[in-house]
């Protein structure tokens, strides 16, 4: 994946990266939200690559149909509940013998632009699925992947995690949270041989767009991204050796690792730039070695 040029830093540019897993055939994977949209496209592509897939979704029938397409397995689970992840991991061990790959894709929107109109229930639901579902998922999967010698985790974030999308500010909040998590994890996961990356697709042709938004987009001629394009980027992240990246996926262009600007730091009394000591230093703010 190309990196745009410029005086900026990517997610984990100075870290030792996990080794690439270029041949995915025979490996095992889970896909959350795998019954439809981006998740279903990922299930199909992984199956075509010879990967053994466990489909995770609240839609039990949809998950079963997706799994049957690729000769895989399915489980109904609520990713927003930490107790459900213990069940997912147990089933994955029993059916797959372990886990090499994970696409943490389940997500919802509030459908509400006005913050004052977001109910407590809607807020808790979106935070549970979009944020807790990824945090609980990574926490549960890392020990399994580490025991197996490493793995690759890909999180579905959104372009809304990189821009100020006011059409659903709580959705935007959750996607910014995911990118922050993904960018901060490589120092602890890379030594275990585990990569973690976030995908940031723009507007994708999935059921999440149904309703007035779809009508508006279709009337404007704005190009939507096919779920299969996002799935291809998911698999590329799994097979590559990069980690800590936020990969932008847009219609008509190649997936691109977003370049984050280095935040300005303080100056010492002598005028030289200062960096916080030890564990207080953000790994992506260290100046690159000449």
In the predicted model, what is the mean pLDDT of residues 214-231? Answer: 83
**Mean pLDDT value across the chain:** 88
CA distances from 204 to 2, 158, 208 (A): 21, 10, 8
Q: Please name the fold of domain 28-285.
A: Rossmann fold (3.40.50)
Choice among 85-94, 170-179, 272-281 with the minimum mean pLDDT? 272-281
Q: Is the pLDDT of residue 48 over 50?
A: yes
Q: Is the pLDDT of residue 45 over 70?
A: yes
| 221-244 burial: b if 16+ Cβ within 10 Å, else e | eeebbebebbbbbbbbbbbbebbb
The predicted-structure confidence for 232-251, as pLDDT tens digits, reads as follows: 999 999 999 899 999 999 99
Q: Work out whether strand 101-104 and strand 246-249 pair parallel, antiparallel, or are unpaired.
A: unpaired
Contacts of 81 (CB under 8 A, 6+ apart): 128, 136
To the query of whether residue 123 is one of the catalytic residues in this protein, the response is no
Specify whether the CB–CB gap between 38 and 204 falls below 8 A: yes
The predicted-structure confidence for 54-69, as pLDDT tens digits, reads as follows: 999 999 999 999 999 9
In the predicted model, what is the mean pLDDT of residues 251-272? Answer: 83
Task: Assign 271 a pLDDT band (cuts: 50, 70, 90).
Answer: low
Q: Is the pLDDT of residue 16 over 50?
A: no
Specify whether the CB–CB gap between 67 and 76 falls below 8 A: no
d(CA 82, CA 75): 15
Specify whether the CB–CB gap between 118 and 170 falls below 8 A: yes
In the predicted model, what is the mean pLDDT of residues 144-148? Answer: 96
pTM, full prediction: 0.88
**Catalytic option among 73, 85, 136, 171:** 171
d(CA 95, CA 199): 28
Q: Which H or E run contains 217?
A: helix 212-220
Which residue matches tokens 């809607």?
Answer: 122
CA nearest to 57, candidates 108, 119, 113, 118: 108
- The token pair at 32 is 């959350």
Q: How far is CA 36 from the centre of its chain?
A: 16
CA distances from 264 to 171, 181, 284 (A): 28, 21, 12
CA nearest to 16, candidates 143, 185, 187: 187
Can you tell me whether residue 257 is helix, strand or coil?
strand
Contacts of 93 (CB under 8 A, 6+ apart): 99, 144
d(CA 160, CA 226): 17
Can you tell me whether residue 57 is helix, strand or coil?
strand
């Amino acid at each position: 994946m190309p990196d745009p040029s410029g005086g900026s830093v990517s997610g984990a540019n100075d870290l030792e990266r996990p080794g690439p897993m270029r041949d995915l055939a025979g490996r095992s994977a889970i896909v959350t939200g795998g019954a439809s949209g981006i998740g279903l496209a990922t299930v199909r592509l992984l199956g075509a690559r010879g990967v053994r897939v466990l489909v995770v979704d609240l839609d039990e029938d949809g998950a079963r149909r997706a799994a049957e397409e690729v000769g895989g397995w399915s489980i109904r689970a609520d990713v927003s509940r930490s107790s459900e992840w213990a069940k997912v991991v147990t089933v994955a061990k029993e059916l797959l013998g372990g886990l090499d790959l994970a696409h943490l894709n389940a997500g919802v929107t509030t459908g509400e632009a006005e913050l004052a109109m977001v109910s407590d229930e809607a807020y808790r639901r979106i935070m549970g699925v979009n944020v807790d579902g990824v945090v609980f998922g990574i926490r549960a999967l890392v020990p399994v992947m580490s025991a197996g010698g490493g793995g690759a985790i890909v999180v579905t974030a959104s372009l809304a995690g990189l821009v100020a999308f006011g059409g659903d500010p709580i959705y935007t909040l959750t996607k910014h949270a995911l990118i922050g998590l993904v960018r901060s994890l490589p120092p602890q996961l890379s030594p275990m041989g585990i990569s973690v990356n976030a995908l940031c697709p723009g507007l994708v042709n999935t059921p999440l767009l149904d309703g007035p938004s779809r009508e508006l987009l279709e009337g404007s001629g704005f190009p939507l991204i096919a779920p299969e394009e996002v799935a291809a980027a998911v698999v590329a992240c799994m097979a590559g050796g990069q980690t800590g990246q936020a990969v932008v996926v847009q219609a008509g262009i190649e997936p691109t690792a977003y370049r984050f600007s280095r935040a300005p730091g303080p100056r010492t009394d002598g005028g030289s730039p200062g960096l916080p000591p030890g564990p207080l230093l953000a790994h992506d703010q260290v100046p690159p070695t000449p």
